[in-house]
Amino acid sequence: MSVIRLEYRRVSMHFMQGGNGRLTAVQDVSVAVGDGEVVSLIGPSGCGKSTLLNIGSGLTAPSEGDAFVDGERVQGPNAHVAFMLQKDLLLPWRTIAENVAFGVEIQGVAAPERKRRAQALLENLNLAEFAGHYPHQLSGGMRQRVALARTLAVDPTVLLLDEPFSAVDAQTRMVLQRELAQTLKRSGKTALLITHDLQEAVTLSDRVLVMSKRPGRIIDEIAIDIPDRDDPLKRRQHPKVNDIVNRLMERLDIGAPDDAVQGRA
């Protein structure tokens, strides 16, 4: 593997449930994601996928184990990681350009540089003509593109993407998948993506990790040996895609914790 950008070392997460004792959401997860790699994380609802992203972003501290970004232990939110959620969460009183620049404004970046970054990203995502518009004037798909631009504006090492396209229609989703793939390829960013769409996982990723039912553990790792990672629409036509999707479906049905295969990432 190339330089490791994001790593989880034997991470477990426990939550107390009042009088019902302790609930283990994630158990003994070890994963490493290399420089410029895109890895998808799939698994049943409630298996701890979002918990892992929260830990990687520094929003939550693990009960056991550690997360690392660029070799440094994650001890809280930091500028090396950016998080994109299902909802765009754009600020309605700010223009599109101002929304894109919001993160770097918080970082204290000077106004000319904020403007330059926002403009460049909006141009790359075909949104430059909407820079002066407000969120309510854009479609759902366009708003998600703005959210992606805002995520990239802070120039993170690692992008954590929690089902970023689940709220849009199928056609818009495919367009956004292509734009995300091209943007990741162009920028060379490292990404960990949560999705329930198995075809999305295959067409966007270098690897797919499968989690078991709660307590979530990694039970399979599938390398996506298909060309054109920057063109998911083209990847969809590859004959290997259906075979990989079928394998993922089988593994999700198994989902047994004692099948876990750790340390292979």
Report the C-alpha gap between 250 and 135 in whole angstroms.
41
Give the pLDDT score at 19: 66
pLDDT along the chain (265 residues), means of 10: 89 83 90 96 92 93 95 89 86 94 88 90 89 93 89 90 84 86 89 94 96 93 93 92 92 58 45
Give the pLDDT score at 84: 87
Domain count, the chain: 1
Residue 49 makes CB contacts below 8 A (sequence gap 6+) with 41, 42, 43, 162, 194, 211, 216
In a domain, 47, yes or no: yes
Give the pLDDT score at 108: 86
In a domain, 66, yes or no: yes
Whichever domain contains 60, its CATH number is: 3.40.50.300
Tokens 């914790």 — which residue?
257
Instruction: Give the residues across from 67 on adjacent strands.
Output: 8
In a domain, 175, yes or no: no
Give the pLDDT score at 71: 92
Other CB atoms within 10 Å distance of the CB of residue 78: 15
Give the pLDDT score at 104: 87
In a domain, 25, yes or no: yes
Residue 128, token pair as written in the block: 């430059």
Residue range of the domain that includes 13: 1-75+189-265
In a domain, 130, yes or no: no
Give the pLDDT score at 1: 57
Give the pLDDT score at 46: 87
In a domain, 38, yes or no: yes
Residue 102, token pair as written in the block: 């919001």
In a domain, 265, yes or no: yes
